């Protein structure tokens, strides 16, 4: 994995893999971990598992793998336009993510992020998959991003192949305050049973330049596809928003 934090001119759309782009974010400005600690009533996010009553809730299959109490709290809060979580997210997209793609006039981004909670002895995502497969139906052209809310490593992280059909699975090793852009669209990825003593928490979202959106969605039948969990269509105004 290569770090280009000081190269804002790096053309992220050209990271045709195995390259992955690692960035940092300022936790004093975008205090996602602290916001969620307060929201969940925790002293440390990586100890969230101490507050759950059933591991089964975190081991469900596609469409039900984001239905825990803590998932529900997160999604309820980020949908409130005036909440601290939502306003921090909007500022992060405009002032950080857009700057990572400074070479484009407008960027299409996932409107609201997905949260991943990977507890000890559990799974955050049960199926190994790539986002453009028949189960998930994400459009081609997307670039994935993982934003670490806790340190993530080894079995509490997400494992991915370096490029499509390579099957050389390795985990992301990220620290709180780091994010990585990578190809989850056509590279298979998934989770192992978390054998660490720490909960991993992260945000996932997708981005692509406007020209890629036009190529893969606006001018195709991709508009008919929707998310596996909520049935939200992959179009601007539903799953995506435009950031200038």
The tens-digit pLDDT sequence of the chain (244 residues) is: 544 443 433 444 444 444 689 999 899 999 999 999 999 999 999 999 998 865 555 665 555 556 688 999 999 999 999 999 999 999 999 999 999 998 888 999 999 999 999 999 998 888 899 999 988 889 888 999 999 999 999 999 999 999 899 999 999 999 999 999 999 999 999 999 999 999 999 999 999 888 888 888 865 554 556 565 666 889 999 999 999 8
Structural domain boundaries enclosing 110? 19-243
In a domain, 14, yes or no: no
Q: pTM to 2 decimals?
A: 0.86
In a domain, 5, yes or no: no
In a domain, 9, yes or no: no
In a domain, 32, yes or no: yes
What whole-number distance in Å separates Cα of residue 156 and Cα of residue 111? 26
Closest by CA to 15, choosing from 161, 182, 138, is 182
Angle at 227 between CA 136 and CA 78, to 5 degrees: 130
Look-up: residue for tokens 């793609």?
A: 101
Q: What CATH number is given to the structural domain containing 216? A: 2.60.120.620
In a domain, 49, yes or no: yes
In a domain, 157, yes or no: yes
- The DSSP secondary-structure symbol of 226 reads B
Contact 90, 167 (CB under 8 A): no
Contact 117, 199 (CB under 8 A): yes
The phi and psi torsions of 223 (rounded to 5 degrees) equal: -60, -20
**Residues in the chain, how many?**
244
Close Cβ partners of 197 (under 8 Å, ≥ 6 residues apart): 120
Domain tally, the chain: 1
In a domain, 52, yes or no: yes
In a domain, 96, yes or no: yes
């Amino acid at each position: 994995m290569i770090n280009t934090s000081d190269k804002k001119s790096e053309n992220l759309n050209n990271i045709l893999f195995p390259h992955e782009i690692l960035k940092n974010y300022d936790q004093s400005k975008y205090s996602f971990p602290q916001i969620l600690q307060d929201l969940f009533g925790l002293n440390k996010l990586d100890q969230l598992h101490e507050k759950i009553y059933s591991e089964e809730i975190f081991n469900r299959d596609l469409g039900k793998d984001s239905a825990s109490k803590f998932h529900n709290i997160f999604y309820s809060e980020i949908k409130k336009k005036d909440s601290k979580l939502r306003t921090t997210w909007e500022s992060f997209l405009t002032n950080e993510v857009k700057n990572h793609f400074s070479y484009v006039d407008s960027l299409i981004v996932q409107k609201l992020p997905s949260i991943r909670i990977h507890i000890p002895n559990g799974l955050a995502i049960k199926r190994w998959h790539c986002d453009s497969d028949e189960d998930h139906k994400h459009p081609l052209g997307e670039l994935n991003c993982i934003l670490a809310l806790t340190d993530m490593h080894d079995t509490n992280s997400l494992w991915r192949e370096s490029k499509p059909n390579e099957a050389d699975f390795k985990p992301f090793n990220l620290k709180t305050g780091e994010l990585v852009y990578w190809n989850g669209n056509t590279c298979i990825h998934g989770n192992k049973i978390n054998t660490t003593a720490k909960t991993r928490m992260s945000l996932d979202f997708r981005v692509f330049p406007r020209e890629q959106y036009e190529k893969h969605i606006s001018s195709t039948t991709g508009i008919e596809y929707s998310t596996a969990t909520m049935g939200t269509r992959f179009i601007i105004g539903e799953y995506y928003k435009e950031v200038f």
